Every structure is written in structure tokens, then in C-alpha cells.
Amino acid sequence: MNRPNIVILGAGYGGIMTAVNLQKKMSPEEANITLVNKHDYHYQTTWLHENAAGTLHHDRTRIAIKDVVDFNKINFVQDTVQSIDPKSKTVTLEDGELSYDYLVIGLGFESATFGIEGLKEHAFSIQNINSARLIRDHIEYNFAQYNLEKDERQDLITIIVGGAGFTGIEFVAELANRIPELCQEYDVPKDKVRLINVEAGPTALAGFDPELVEYAMNRLEEKGVEFKLGTMIKKVNEEGIIVEKDEEQEEIKSKNVIWAAGVTGNSIVQESGFETNRGRVPVRNDLRTPDYDDVFVVGDCAVIMNPESERPYPPTAQIAIQMADVVAHNLKQLVSGSEKLEGFEPNIQGTVASLGHTDAIGVVFDDKKLFGRSASIMKKVIDNRYLMKLGGVGLVLKKGKLDMYH
């Protein structure tokens, strides 16, 4: 009997957890399992804002794939996906081609620019380890440059963050903690530095509990963050940004513009002919694509509607990890000849937003609100629990946030 080929594209939360689950559920005699990823590491996307601000070294965020995937059970291919042909069941890579019987797409997100002029060319975005490292170095370079200029150039020490969703707020919070260190290191007067958060919507953290949002904004304003809510970025250029509020336009000069608003699924998925909605696949209940019974989608490339709000669930790490459990189960079923597939029901166990190392806000356990240190500890518990699930106690000790109470 020929063993079926299972190919997993991407080692983000959904992809790597699918691989880890499959290596526990299936023997190499049951199927050939291949994991494809551009890098030889998995990284915690939810920690990238700390790498970008310079408050956590990127090596803490990276996890070597060989540390969590058993290469005796799973074939790892380090390569970049170019395209997928679901009709011929092939995946084209930069350095070759793979054929599959079952495919799991976990290719992650791309930044959504919403058609803002110059955004792609002149703004940074927090997408991966390399982009986070670049943002950190760029901000440090400009702070170092400040005292070398004859004229005091405010644009070098003005940091603009576009978007006040989770990533935007968490990034701004880390920057607010990092700026005093940067000022000390590069002899920059702290009162000259501007940290501006621009959000088109009427509130930060849209859809989150208003009391928690108010707490977050008050804490960040105390640390010097300027909020510009209900303000649209119209254009980004070499000088900075042009914003509009109530039909009034304003130019803000800055050499540090970071875009942290909105993501879309990887463009390869749409270009490969899958049915998509704003770049993401509206998956069936069992997480297969609408048009192919042999293709599953996990993480940012999938969209699942919340029947209560009639809006899509946000593409979070929590949901991607839960999807991986269902996909691994369903693949095991299909390989063993059963058509009884499990449906996916997101189990939202709470949401916590970090406001720096020892501060956070969150809603957990049936709407219990957490503020400050207790929320921060909960955030670290959640992060460590994922590491435990991925690689056991050893990984928690190696990469976890164990300094809970400091």
C-alpha cells in the first residue's frame, strides 16, 4: 500500500502545531509527512513587537524546528513556497516541487496597506524576525544620529505607530518603556522625543472592554504616548506622514514610521486559485477549503465567522493552535479511511494585551477583567503554556518567560 503524502506549508503557530500533533498521532508507516518553511526556526509572532522595540532579543523569540519536530518522523524542507496547484496536487518551491495527497496551508499573514499612498515604500511593518530586527536597529540609528546633526532634527526622534489594535498598542507600550533607555544611551533629551499612535477608528483596541481600554490609554499617556484617534493616515513619504481628521490635514515629520494595522492572508493562497475573502479562505467547518477535499487551511490564511457577532474571528495564535489540533485529528481520520471528520469550534479562553514588562490588560475565564501585574502574569502563563504544548518542560525552561514576578 502506498503511503499518502501530507505536506504542511509554513511553520507558524498553525503549521508547527499540526506537525507536532501529527508526529504524536501517526507513525511513519502511515504517511509521509513533510513540513516546508523558509527558515529553520519557528518564531512567536506575538513576541515580535518586543523584538522590534528592543526590549526582548530576537533569539528568545526563535525556536529551532529541530528542537520540537522529530526528523525521524517528519521530513523538513527549508525552502520558500512559490505557488500551489490544487488541480495537479503540487507545490512549487524555489528549489523544487512537492506532490501531495493532503495539504495543510499555514503560510501566515501579510500587512494590509488599505491602499494608503506610499505606505509600502516608506513605512516599516512588524512581520517577522528580520523586519522586527530592522525596526529596532533603524530607531537606534536615528537616536544615535540625533546629536551628530548641526540642527536639532525632531524627525529623527519622532516615532509614529499606525494602528491602535493589539499589535499597535503592545508595540507602543514596549517603545514607551524602551525610550528612557535609548535617551540615556544616546544622550537624547527625553522631553524632546515624540511617540505618536495614529488610529483611524474612534477608539484604541476596538471591540475590547471600554474600562480596560481606558486603563491602557491612561497608562500609556502617563508614559508620554500621544494618541491621535479618529485620524486617518492619508499618505506616507520620505518626510513622514500626512493625516486627516475632520477634513483637516496635518503633516507630521518622522523618520520612524511603523505600520501595525491590519493583516491579510498570504497572497500565494489567492494567486493559487483558492476561493478567498479579502485574501483569506472561508474554510468549511472541518477546516478544509470550500472547493477541495484534500486541502486544509490554518491560522491567518483561514477565515471563520463568529455566529454571534456575524464577524470573522480575529486571526490569533490561540485560534491557530486550536485549529492545528482539529486538522491533525482530521488528517489521521482521512489516512485511516474514515470520513468522520471533527468540526472546529473556537474556544476563546481569554484575551490579554501586554502594556510592557509588568503591566497588561485582559479578559479571561468568562469575562473576568484583569489589570496591571495580575494581567501581566496571566500573559506570561499563556505564553509558557504554548511552549509547554509545543516542546515540553525543556522548551519552557529554555525560551519561556519565567521571571513572572519581576
As annotated, the active-site residues are 170
Q: Cell for 151?
A: 540642527
Burial of 53 (0-12, 13-18, 19+ CB in 10 A): buried
Helices H, strands E: what count in the chain? Answer: 11, 27
φ, ψ of residue 299 to 5 degrees: the values are 75, -145
Q: Do 253 and 154 meet the contact criterion of CB atoms below 8 Å apart?
A: yes
For residue 55, what is the DSSP state?
A: S
The rounded distance, in Å, linking the Cα atoms of 250 and 43 is: 38
How far is the C-alpha of 65 from the C-alpha of 32, rounded, in Å? 18
Residue 43 identity: Y
- Which residue(s) pair with 98 in the sheet? 91
Separation of alpha carbons 332 and 329, rounded Å: 5
Assess contact for 99 and 89: CB atoms under 8 A: yes
